[in-house]
Amino acid sequence: MKTFRALILAVAAVSSAAHAASTYTVKPGDTLYKVAQVNKMDPVALMKLNGLNSTTIQVGQKLKVSGATATASAPQAAAKPAPANGNAVIRTAASRYLNIRYVLGGTSARGIDCSGYTQAVFKQLGVNLPRTARSQFGVGRSVPRGDLRSGDLVFFNTTGAGVSHVGIYLGNGEFANANSYQGRTIIEKMNSTYWATRYVGARRVL
**Per the structure, how many domains does the chain have?**
2
Specify whether 67 is located in the same domain as 112.
no
CATH code, 18: 3.10.350.10
- Domain end residue (candidates: 22, 54, 78): 78
Alpha-carbon span 204 to 206, nearest angstrom: 6
pLDDT for 110 equals 94
CATH code, 103: 3.90.1720.10
Specify whether 94 is located in the same domain as 140.
yes
The answer to the question of residue 54 being in a domain is yes
Alpha-carbon span 36 to 206, nearest angstrom: 12
Q: Which domain holds residue 122?
A: 88-204
**Using N-to-C axis directions, what is the helix angle for 88-95 and 114-124, rounded to 10°?**
130
- Domain end residue (candidates: 24, 43, 78): 78
Q: 107-136 pLDDT, tens per residue? A: 999 999 999 999 999 998 889 999 999 999
| Residue 141 confidence class, pLDDT cut points 50, 70, 90 | very high
Specify whether 149 is located in the same domain as 194.
yes
Specify whether 72 is located in the same domain as 92.
no
Specify whether 57 is located in the same domain as 144.
no
Residue 137 has pLDDT above 60, yes or no: yes
Residue 21 corresponds to which amino acid? Answer: A
The answer to the question of residue 83 being in a domain is no
Residue 51 burial (CB count, 10 A): 7
pLDDT for 52 equals 81
The answer to the question of residue 185 being in a domain is yes
- Between 42 and 67, name the one with better pLDDT: 42
Q: What are phi and psi of 114, to 5 degrees?
A: -60, -50
Specify whether 71 is located in the same domain as 94.
no
Specify whether 142 is located in the same domain as 194.
yes
**Burial annotation 111-149 (CB, 10 A radius, 16+ → b, else e):** bbbbbbbbbbbbebbbbebeebbbebbeebeebeeeebb
CB under 8 Å to 114, separation ≥6 — which residues?
Answer: 133, 165, 166, 167, 177, 178, 179, 180
The answer to the question of residue 23 being in a domain is yes
- Between 34 and 17, name the one with better pLDDT: 34
| pTM (two decimals) | 0.68
Question: Active-site residues: which are they?
Answer: 114, 165, 177
Specify whether 74 is located in the same domain as 104.
no
Instruction: Identify the CA nearest to 64 among candidates 84, 103, 101, 36.
Output: 36
